Amino acid sequence: MRSAILFFSLSLFLSIVVNGQTENEHIGNKVIIILLDKSEIKGELVSENEREIVVSSTSLGLLTFKKAEVLKTIYLDKKGRMPNPNPTRYFVGQSAYTLDKGEGYYQNIYGLINLISYGITDRFSVLAGTEIISLFSGSPVLFTNLKYGVPISNKLQGALSFSYLTSVGDLLGDLSLGSLNALLTYGNKEHNVTFGTGYALANGEINNTGVLTIGGMTRLTGRLAFITENYILTSEDEALVSGGLRYMAKKLTLTLLIFQGGFPAIDIVLKF
| pLDDT tens digits along 131-180 | 998 888 888 899 999 999 999 998 999 999 999 999 887 665 677 888 89
More confident residue, 10 or 214: 214
pLDDT of residue 175: 76
pLDDT above 90 covers a percentage of the chain that reads 56
Beta strands in 188-262 (DSSP E): 191-202, 205-219, 224-233, 238-240, 242-248, 252-259
pLDDT of residue 24: 64
Q: Which amino acid is at 49?
A: N
pLDDT of residue 135: 83
Q: What is the mean pLDDT of residues 67-93?
A: 89
Q: For 45-75, b where at least 16 C-beta lie within 10 A, e where not — what string?
A: beebeeeebebeeeeeeeeebeeeeeeebeb
* pLDDT above 70 for 206: no
Inter-residue contact 57 to 42 (CB < 8 Å): yes
* pLDDT above 60 for 98: yes
Q: Which range scores top for mean pLDDT: 92-106, 125-139, 161-175, 192-206? A: 92-106
The mean of the pLDDT values for the chain is 86
Q: What is the mean pLDDT of residues 33-50?
A: 90
Kindly write down the DSSP assignment for every residue of 159-188, as one continuous string. Answer: EEEEEEEEESSSSS-S-EEEEEEEEEEEE-
